[in-house]
Amino acid sequence: MRASRTGTVGVRAIRESELPGVRVLLHAAFRADPVSRWLFPGEAHCEERHPRLQGAFLESAFRHGTAETTEDGAGVVLWFHHRDGRQTGAEELADALDAVDPGNPRLRQLGEAVGGRHPSEDHAYLQFIAVLPERQGAGLGGALLGRSLERCDAAALPAYLEASSARSCGLYERLGFRMRGEPVRLPGGPEMWPMWRPPR
């Protein structure tokens, strides 16, 4: 895929050689996220297992979905494609997730909670958008999403996500997403907000 520009930020496909560095970025961006902290309580546990989780999603999106980065490598977006009620690469991803932290019931609980609310319509599913902590608030996330949503609009394809913070809900709302039903409530943990964006 060729690089494109959204505003002044260049966006391009992630190269296979960049996967290890992108995994580090995803860990840095999400290690303090409420859902990540709920999944892996305890600092040592999180530091060991959380990068594996991010790596599983990254590898699957790279192989079966869409994995893009800003030209300077400071931001990343991962999408999966849902067609006919199924996510591309779902079986391989499930196997990879099973190996992340065997015996951790919260991984299964998270999968059941979000899976039970996932739309059946064809759509693009935003798994993660991540920006290095020191670069957050500089418009990189909006540029990454803008590029992806242009493709969704061109294909008349809706987009779906689960926001894990009120701050991110605001960004998504500015880009045309709206709340879809009640929040997903994780057992003894944080809420996630399902959001849906019709094509424009």
Average of per-residue pLDDT across 36-50:
94
- 136-186 confidence digits (pLDDT tens): 888 898 889 998 999 999 999 999 999 998 888 988 999 999 999 999 999
Chain centroid to CA 182: how far?
A: 20
pTM for this prediction: 0.91
Rounded to the nearest 10°, the torsion over CA 71, 73, 74, 79 is: 90
4-197 belongs to CATH 2.30.30.90:
no
Token pair belonging to 103: 């015996």
Q: Where are the beta strands (DSSP E) in 96-199?
A: 123-131, 159-163, 178-179, 184-185, 191-197
Structure-block tokens of residue 65: 């979905």
| Per-residue model confidence (pLDDT) at position 4 | 56
**Residue range 37-45: mean pLDDT, rounded:** 94
